[in-house]
Amino acid sequence: MPEIRAAAREAVARVSDHADLPPFDLVAKAGPEVIAEWGLGARSPSPGLIEVTLRPDRLDPALLVRILVREMHHLIRWDGPGYGRSLGEALVSEGLAGHFVLQVLGGRPDPWDAMRPAAGLARQAMNEWARLDYDHARWFHGKGDIRKWAGYGLGHLLVVEHLAQNQGEMATSLAGARAEAFRPTLRRLVGTEAAAEDEPDAGPPEAAGAGQDAGGAA
């Protein structure tokens, strides 16, 4: 489809303004295995390869460019530590890829990156950080007891916090960073979450006449 070729050319041009892309093949096919909200799905399963699945009747070139830019960060990362096999590596790879989209294209975070993780998920990720047998579908696609896209949202927050603590870094400069460099950042997120949980609950305000009036005056 000419729309796919045009979107691929645009994505390459936009990314090339920020990073050196390795040679790669793009394989596109029609199929049902897509993100329902976008009618698209993509992955970079190995070095030098991006696979896109789409519903031709719902093709939005702008969204295709956006999803290709994300996968191009995975391509770049394959030339370094790779996507990774552990939960921690996946969180970092997805978090960086989402921030790369913002760096290259701007706009708001994509819906999965904007997903707010539930309370306690950062601590759970800390406990399972190095697990090689983690369930990717459970953490990232809602196939189980974890909210859909929560892994993407946690990865996004992880990179937000890391960038805040490391001024001057960005998704491109961190493309070759190993996941262990982000582990202290996750510990800070866990600590922040724990501190918020420990804050005392002030409880409901007293009724007027029970020592103070409704405006709080003595």
Domains of the chain, residue spans: 1-79, 82-199
Q: How far apart are CA 60 and CA 35, in angstroms?
A: 13
Helix (H) or strand (E) holding 53: strand 49-54
Helix (H) or strand (E) holding 42: strand 40-46
Q: Which of 170, 111, 169 minimizes the C-alpha distance to 140?
A: 111
Residue 57 one-letter amino acid: D
pLDDT in tens, 153-189: 999 999 999 999 999 999 999 999 999 999 999 999 9
Q: How far apart are CA 99 and CA 70, in angstroms?
A: 9
Percentage of residues in the chain having pLDDT higher than 90: 86
pLDDT in tens, 78-113: 999 999 999 999 999 999 999 999 999 999 999 999
Q: How far apart are CA 170 and CA 172, in angstroms?
A: 5
Question: Where does residue 142 rank: exposed (0-12), middle (13-18), buried (19+ CB within 10 A)?
Answer: middle
Please tell me which residue, 73 or 197, carries the higher pLDDT value.
Answer: 73
Please answer whether residues 103 and 134 qualify as being in contact, where contact means their C-beta atoms are separated by less than 8 angstroms: no
pLDDT value at 137 more than 50:
yes
Residue tagged 């890391």 (tokens) = 162
Structure confidence at residue 201 as a pLDDT band (50, 70, 90): low
Q: So what's the pLDDT on residue 206?
A: 42
Q: So what's the pLDDT on residue 207?
A: 37
Percentage of residues in the chain having pLDDT higher than 70: 89
Name 27's bridge partners. 51
Q: How far apart are CA 96 and CA 50, in angstroms?
A: 17
Q: How far apart are CA 182 and CA 1, in angstroms?
A: 40
pLDDT in tens, 59-78: 999 999 999 999 999 999 99
Q: So what's the pLDDT on residue 192?
A: 84
